[in-house]
Chain A
Amino acid sequence: MRREGSLWTGVGTVFAKETADHLGSVRLWFLEGLILLAAGGAVYAAISRIRDSVGQDPFLFLSLFTLAREPLPSFVVFLGFLVPLVAIALGFDAVNGEHARRTLSRVLAQPIYRDALLIGKFLAGLATLAIAFVTLWLLVIGLGILMTGLAPSGEEVVRGFAFLLVTVAYGGVWLAVAMLFSVLFRQQATSALAALSVWLLLSVFWAMIAPLAAEALAPAGAGPFAELERARLQLAIARVSPNVLFGEATLAILNPATRALGPVFFAQLEGAVLGAPLPVAESLLLVWPQATGLVAAVILAFTVAYVLFQRQEIRA
């Protein structure tokens, strides 16, 4: 039967309820605690390194996110690792959990469309992620101000905000993927495992797969141009992984001296003033493909989940 009326009917209700559920859930508390511990440690290490160095860095606050001290990885690396976990945890049982609890037909008996249910659930997950990251971001900035006694500059705030948006988009990708699996599989454990294995594949193994795949797919041949072709293909394959996109985007946003992502001809560097920071707009332009790629991935994964959910049979 075709939907009548606006698909937004009930989205608000679902969104409010789901957000409340997420924020109150033990699962989220658990993950938030984990992130806070890891990220807090990383930032503390970064600050102690900043204090040790006497060099002047015009982007001191950005180095809070990127500096690492030996046993601990940097804040950004921690986020790249933990954000997918939080997103998967929020989304892996979004639909099949309702099935399992036999509450789906009850919800749908209300004047709420299926569209609204899925959209509401996704938006609630995204909002939860956003709240968590904004809190974390503010905590880091606050810790930085407290411990270094400096205020971030306008440009640092803009870059930090862009970093926040990219992080939310990155979380959105994994949330959409997790919800896709929750639609696809009836068993919650299956969908959780499936999401986790995809995450493992893309975040850990992809770095090994990309060169092999490029080797296999690239036209055979020697010489610098074949090498360049292979490097480009390898980069294109690697960029299928949202982790790679997130890594590149944060690198360019948080390290203003980054001028290019990918292979650069030597001639292009002739006369270039290395180490000079790029204007914010240029950095954003540089990561624009990565950022839009992440957003497009969110939309596509959600669309697939949506189509599958709409075609499912739901019985009481």
Chain B
Amino acid sequence: MRAAIAVALAFALSASATGQTQKESAPAYRGLWVATPYPSFDAPAGEPVTLELTVHNSGLAPQPVQLQLEGVPPGWSASLVGEGKRVRSVFVAPNDKATVRLRLEPSPKATRGSYRFAVVAVGAESRFRLPLELNIGQTLPPRLALRVDLPELRGSPGTEFDFKAAVRNEGGDDAVVRVDAAVPQGFRVRVTEQWGQQELPSFTLKAGEEKTVSVKIQPPFGAKEGRYPVLLGATSGKAEAQREIALEVAGEPRLELVGREERLSAAAEAGRETAIEIVVANTGSATARDVKLDASTPSGWKVTFQPERLDAIEPNARQTVKALVVPAAKAIAGDYMMTVRASAGGANRSADFRVTVRTSTLWGVVGILVIAAALVVLVAAMLRYGRR
């Protein structure tokens, strides 16, 4: 308690001396210091390294600070860079910091091993030494990471499932990466750029970089409803990463309408009921439920279906419905178009049937009767008037 009061007192004195307002949280250290986040690090051989250095002034007067390098191995080039210029010193205000970067180019001949050197900051009344250690040739082992943000997609069998897969090279070296997916039989895979159609069989990924590709999977036509797990993999020669994704294929009924023996024509007599057999087939991937049938016909026609609706048609199954067609009694002979529709929820299908209407032969009989009557008159005349 006593010590805390003493520090606060000293701080108040210094504040009055510099004429600056101080923050509440007083720094415990007073003087110059140089910092870098990772004072000891690994680097591949023959590659330049850049370090971020910050020079802090804690509680000292504003002053320029000389920066020096100590113990840099011969043949190495080391320079301090600030805003694109080589610098030798920085200016730091009290309780402020200045940033410089240290650019190190190890000699190409530098062998594996640990190299020690230091950055020394020299101010008016203070001096600070930051020891650094660089391990050449000690890079990270090759490693790939695969991330899929939306690992499970849902869609109909006709859609292309598009998975965005982010591949990260977590190794220390660049790698040529190939992305592939192990899919069930019949599925089609395309790996393309994230936005675009260009296919990417493989691509180069720099150390630490990440690239997002689009893995497009197309289920085969008529794929059954269900969940299809797919193993997505990214491989470079040395490392590989796998991730399980899944396609949720939603079933979709698809209806087809044909006549018996694929015929779309029928003959009917005017005013008489004729049964036309209609085959309703489901070529989709899900059961078609509650299939309703109706027909649009020329006016005066009546069409009823037996049965009027089908409860369920399994995928790849077909059912026969009888359409009882009654053409208008006054329909003239010839061909007419009749549209039959089958609908089940979202799926529907219509087919045009050509109905050849025949007229009643009743008038034919009447015509024969007229001729018969005329013949009767003739015969009667012959019997009545027959003479020599």
Contact = CB atoms under 8 A, between A and B. Distances in A.
A3 B387 CA distance: 4
Contact of A271 (B333, B338, B375, B386): B338
B338 A115 contact: no
Contacts of A307: 381, 385
A37 interface: no
A135 interface: no
Interface stretch (A19-27, A184-192, A213-221, A295-303): A295-303
Contact of B370 (A1, A4, A7, A293): A293
B334 A278 contact: yes
B331 A268 contact: yes
A52 interface: no
Interface stretch (B8-16, B175-183, B343-351, B357-365): B357-365
B386 to A, nearest CB: 4
Interface residues of B, number: 38
B382 interface: yes
Interface stretch (A39-47, A59-67, A281-289): A281-289
B358 A281 contact: yes
Contacts of A267: 298-300
Contact of A7 (B333, B335, B386): B386
A267 B337 CA distance: 14
Nearest to A4: B388
A110 to B, nearest CB: 11
Contact of A296 (B356, B364, B370): B370
A279 B356 contact: yes
A114 interface: yes
A226 interface: no
Contact of B371 (A273, A285, A295): A295
A315 to B, nearest CB: 14
Q: Interface of chain B, helix or strand or loop or mixed?
A: mixed
A57 interface: no
A194 B331 CA distance: 43
B374 A300 contact: yes
Contact of A272 (B298, B368, B385): B298
A299 B371 contact: yes
B335 A273 contact: yes
A2 B387 contact: yes
Nearest to A286: B333
Contacts of A108: 388
B373 to A, nearest CB: 8
A296 B358 contact: no
A276 interface: yes
Given A114-B388, A292-B367, A299-B375, A282 B333 contact: yes
For the complex, would chain A's binding face be called helix, strand, loop or mixed by DSSP majority? Answer: helix
A69 interface: no
Contacts of A273: 334-337, 354
Contacts of A293: 367, 370
B334 A270 contact: no
A306 interface: yes
A285 B298 contact: no
Contacts of B330: 265, 268
Nearest to B334: A259
A293 B356 CA distance: 27
B387 A1 contact: yes
Contacts of A114: 387-388
A307 B384 CA distance: 9
A4 B386 CA distance: 9
B328 interface: yes
A292 B377 CA distance: 16
Interface in A256-276: 259-260, 264-265, 267-273, 276
B382 A115 contact: yes
Contact of B334 (A1, A265, A272): A272
A184 to B, nearest CB: 16
A113 B332 contact: no
Q: Which of B358, B375, B377, B385 has the most chain A CB within a 10 Å cutoff?
A: B385
A293 B374 CA distance: 10
A1 B387 CA distance: 6
B385 A306 contact: yes
Contact of B298 (A271, A286, A289, A311): A271
Nearest to A292: B367
A33 B180 CA distance: 91
A155 B88 CA distance: 110
Which among A276, A292, A306 has the greatest number of chain B C-beta atoms within 10 A? A292
Contacts of A13: none
B95 interface: no
A294 to B, nearest CB: 10
Interface in B298-339: 298-301, 328, 330-338
A270 B23 CA distance: 94
B242 interface: no
A310 interface: yes
Contacts of A265: 330
Contacts of B156: none
Interface in B269-313: 297-301
Contacts of A300: 374, 377
B298 to A, nearest CB: 3
Contact of A3 (B297, B328, B370, B386): B386
B333 A302 contact: no
B388 A1 contact: yes
A35 interface: no
Interface in B204-241: none
B387 A285 contact: no
A289 B388 contact: no
B42 to A, nearest CB: 84
A83 interface: no
A282 B334 contact: yes
B300 A115 contact: no
A278 B385 CA distance: 46
Given A268-B330, A285-B363, A303 B374 contact: yes
The 5 closest A-B pairs by CB, nearest first: A271-B298, A292-B367, A310-B385, A299-B374, A3-B386
23 contacts: A7-B386, A113-B386, A114-B388, A259-B332, A259-B333, A260-B332, A267-B298, A268-B300, A271-B298, A272-B332, A276-B335, A278-B334, A282-B334, A285-B361, A285-B363, A292-B367, A296-B371, A296-B374, A299-B374, A306-B381, A306-B385, A310-B386, A311-B385
Given A2-B388, A265-B330, A268-B332, 4 more contacts: A2-B387, A295-B374, A296-B371, A310-B381
